């Protein structure tokens, strides 16, 4: 999957999918979901991928930190309802993973995001090589 500027993304293009329920508290004065909440939706997709109980990306004493997040707002999201979140892995480095994600409401791509996360050693807080099991689990994405 190549990241690009288009509204033609579909949820089906993303190998990992999840959803979030919209809350009234997510809305702003204009009656649509506040743009700050879009980052929370992206987090939901990212965290469910990282901590998937059947294919986790972390190992004991490691975690992930965000080093870059580029969020493109494409359309409004309105309460009530849900949003679908799609996630794809676009690059795997020595200690980093680049993700491309889409947020959808009623089939419309409302936002896309490119995120780079780095695996760190919890004791030293320094980047560490991705575990082999993480690489294996990422291969399917």
Structure confidence by residue, pLDDT tens digits, 88-122: 999 999 999 999 999 999 999 999 999 999 999 99
pLDDT higher than threshold 80 for residue 19: yes
Three-state secondary structure of the chain: CCCCCCCCCCHHHCCEEEEEECCHHHECCCCEECHHHHHHHHHHHHHHHHCCCCCCCCCCCEEEEEEEEEEEECCCCECCCEEEEEEEEEEECCCEEEEEEEEEECCEEEEEEEEEEEEEECCCCCECCCCHHHHHHHHCC
pLDDT at 4: 45
**Considering only CA atoms, which of 5, 26, 2 is closest in space to residue 111?**
5
The mean per-residue pLDDT over the stretch 57-76 comes to: 94
Mean pLDDT to the nearest integer, 5-29: 88
Q: Is the predicted pLDDT of residue 5 greater than 50, yes or no? A: no
What class is the 11-139 domain? alpha beta
Give the pLDDT band (50/70/90) at residue 7.
low
- Model-wide pTM > 0.75: yes
Q: How far apart are CA 122 and CA 108, in angstroms?
A: 39
Query: Which pLDDT belongs to residue 9?
Result: 84
Confidence band (pLDDT; 50, 70, 90) for 69? Answer: very high
Residue 33 has pLDDT above 50, yes or no: yes
Closest C-alpha to 127, from 118, 135, 136: 118
């Amino acid at each position: 999957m190549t990241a690009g500027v288009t509204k033609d993304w579909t949820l089906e293009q993303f190998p990992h999918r999840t959803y979030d329920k919209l809350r009234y508290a997510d809305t702003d004065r204009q009656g649509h979901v506040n743009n700050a909440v879009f980052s929370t939706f992206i987090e939901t997709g990212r965290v469910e991928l990282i901590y998937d109980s059947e294919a986790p990306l972390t190992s004991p004493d490691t975690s992930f930190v965000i080093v870059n997040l580029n969020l493109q707002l494409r359309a409004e999201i309105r309460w009530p309802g849900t949003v679908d979140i799609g996630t794809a892995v676009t690059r795997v480095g020595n200690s980093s993973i680049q993700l491309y994600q889409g947020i959808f409401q009623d089939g419309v791509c409302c936002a896309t995001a490119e995120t780079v996360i780095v695996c760190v050693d919890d004791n030293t807080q320094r980047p560490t090589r991705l575990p082999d099991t993480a690489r294996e689990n990422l291969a399917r994405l």
